[in-house]
Amino acid sequence: MIFIIRTALILRFAAMVRSCFALILLAFLLRSLPTSAQQSGKSASTLPLPDHVVVLILENHHYTSIIGSADAPYINALANDPNAALFTNSFAITHPSQPNYLALFSGSTQGVADDSVPHNYPFITPNLARELMDASRSFATYSEDLPYAGYDGATYGNYARKHNPVANWVGTGTNQVPDTVNRPFTDFPSSDFAQLPTVAFIVPNQSNDMHTSTGSASIIAGDNWLHSHLDTYLQWALSHNSLFILTFDEDDDHHDNQVTTIFYGPMVQGGQYADLVDHYTMLRTIEELYSLPLAGNTASYSPIYDCWRSAGLKNLNSSGESLLSVFPNPTSETATFRFNNRLGGHTLSITDLHGHALYKHNTLSGTLTIPVSAYPDGLYFYSVTSTDASPYFGRLIVRH
């Protein structure tokens, strides 16, 4: 009731004085509601909604030992694909391996500082699997060499429990999950990927996750494993609104913990992105994709916004044709806006993150190329209003 009264007063004040300041106050007040979209400060509609997300975690190699390496041709081809975003400032949280897996899964290292089986498991803290299940979605981890679903041992063959965070939440208590989400990789579909849960973690064994050494052999083995076991899913994802995330648990302990992270899918705008990314950022992004609560430290992090295609905003006319394409995006010198010729009079506007108008042009038709070389590096927003279509919006990224 207090909230309703306060909102009504602010609206009346805005109507009387028509003040932008009053509207800002209203926006600030509405942001106090406990939803993840409001906590992020941006609308969840700016993010895609993938049917499936598959996350592959590799091991113990720094960014420059993977990107540009002849030992990882498949990963490098993936990084340069027009449907892939390569994050050039991606970092692990800590050393050694296990705390990073816990951070990616639960937004916290859970006080774990080594690779031993945690003494205080099973945990009862929030985590991605429980969040998804509570939202009527699904989760599973597929671990290579895991002997059977729910196996709780520390090792088996080349399987290592320290790389499988969901094992620490199996149970029937608060925030815990059934052992059926802790599955062997043999359960991973070979072709019908529609069987996959909403989000899946993939954990290769220690011979195939680049863990066994820091030399060429382990990189070659991991690159080959990815190509052999997941390329079919990656190709399927492009026509089935699904996302693939490749990341590493940590570096080789000698390069500031910088690691390779790649997002791949039809909703991804290809390119290199300098956003500061870590395991908490990635978890926050997945949580935001599905409007989930925020686990652990992720409430203090922003999701990744820059790498999604503006086409994900469904800028289509009644015939399903794209009303607008923007290229290149990201760009450094010019941005070309190509309009559907059936559009009537329309207006293009570009603003910065603070809402300052940078560009406006009326009655456009066909193709318009505008200079952006004077724009500082960053994220900008464009909007188009038309006489025969609803207003629609997108993001323009400038990088010099």
From 254, 270, 300, give the residue that closes a domain: 300
Q: Using DSSP bridges, classify how beta strands 357-362 and 346-351 pair: parallel, antiparallel or unpaired.
A: antiparallel
Residue 12 lies in a domain: yes
Residue 227 lies in a domain: yes
337 and 280 part of one domain: no
259 and 363 part of one domain: no
Q: Edge to edge, what strands does the sheet with 199-203 contain?
A: 182-184, 139-143, 199-203, 52-58, 242-248, 261-264, 84-90, 271-277
218 and 349 part of one domain: no
Rounded to an integer, what distance in angstroms lies between the CA atom of residue 339 and that of residue 323?
A: 6
Cis peptide upstream of residue 122 (ω within 30 degrees of 0)? yes
271 and 334 part of one domain: no
Query: 277-314 burial, b if ≥16 CB within 10 A, otherwise e?
Result: bbbbbbbbbbbbbbebbbbbbbeebbbbbbbbbbbbbe
215-246 tens-digit pLDDT: 799 999 999 999 999 999 999 999 999 999 99
97 and 165 part of one domain: yes
Q: Domains in the chain: how many in total?
A: 3
Q: What is the pLDDT of residue 393?
A: 63
Q: Which domain holds residue 376?
A: 312-398
276-304 tens-digit pLDDT: 999 999 999 999 999 999 999 999 998 99
Contact 310, 134 (CB under 8 A): no
Residue 41 lies in a domain: no
More confident site: 270 or 45: 270
Both tokens of residue 120? 């205080």
166 phi and psi angles, rounded to 5 deg:
-60, -25
pLDDT band at residue 153 under the 50/70/90 scheme: very high
Burial label for 136, CB within 10 Å (0-12, 13-18, 19+), is exposed
Residue 374 lies in a domain: yes
pLDDT at position 1 over 70: no
pLDDT band at residue 378 under the 50/70/90 scheme: confident
Residue 52 lies in a domain: yes
Whether the pTM exceeds 0.75: the reply is: no
pLDDT at position 166 over 50: yes
User: Percentage of the chain surpassing pLDDT 90?
Assistant: 62
269 and 357 part of one domain: no
Q: Could you give the residue ranges of the DSSP H alpha helices within 296-341? A: none
Q: What is the CATH number of the domain that holds 356?
A: 2.60.40.3080
User: Percentage of the chain surpassing pLDDT 70?
Assistant: 79
Q: Please state the length of the chain.
A: 400
345 and 205 part of one domain: no
Residue 239 lies in a domain: yes
Q: How many CA atoms lie within 13 A of 388 on its CB side?
A: 12
289 and 357 part of one domain: no
pLDDT band at residue 380 under the 50/70/90 scheme: confident
Residue 306 lies in a domain: no
Residue appearing with tokens 């916004």: 305
From 253, 269, 300, give the residue that closes a domain: 300
Residue 305 lies in a domain: no
pLDDT band at residue 392 under the 50/70/90 scheme: low
Cα–Cα–Cα angle for 51, 132, 296, nearest 5°? 125
Q: What is the mean pLDDT of the chain?
A: 83
Q: HEC profile for 140-153?
A: EEEECCCCCCCCCC
Rounded to an integer, what distance in angstroms lies between the CA atom of residue 166 and that of residue 203?
A: 11
88 and 227 part of one domain: yes
| Cβ within 8 Å of residue 112, ≥6 positions away | 98, 99, 102, 118
Q: What is the mean pLDDT of residues 333-357?
A: 75
pLDDT band at residue 77 under the 50/70/90 scheme: very high
Q: Max CA-CA distance within the chain?
A: 72
Both tokens of residue 172? 């029937």
From 252, 267, 300, give the residue that closes a domain: 300
271 and 249 part of one domain: yes
282 and 333 part of one domain: no
Q: What is the pLDDT of residue 25?
A: 35
228 and 83 part of one domain: yes
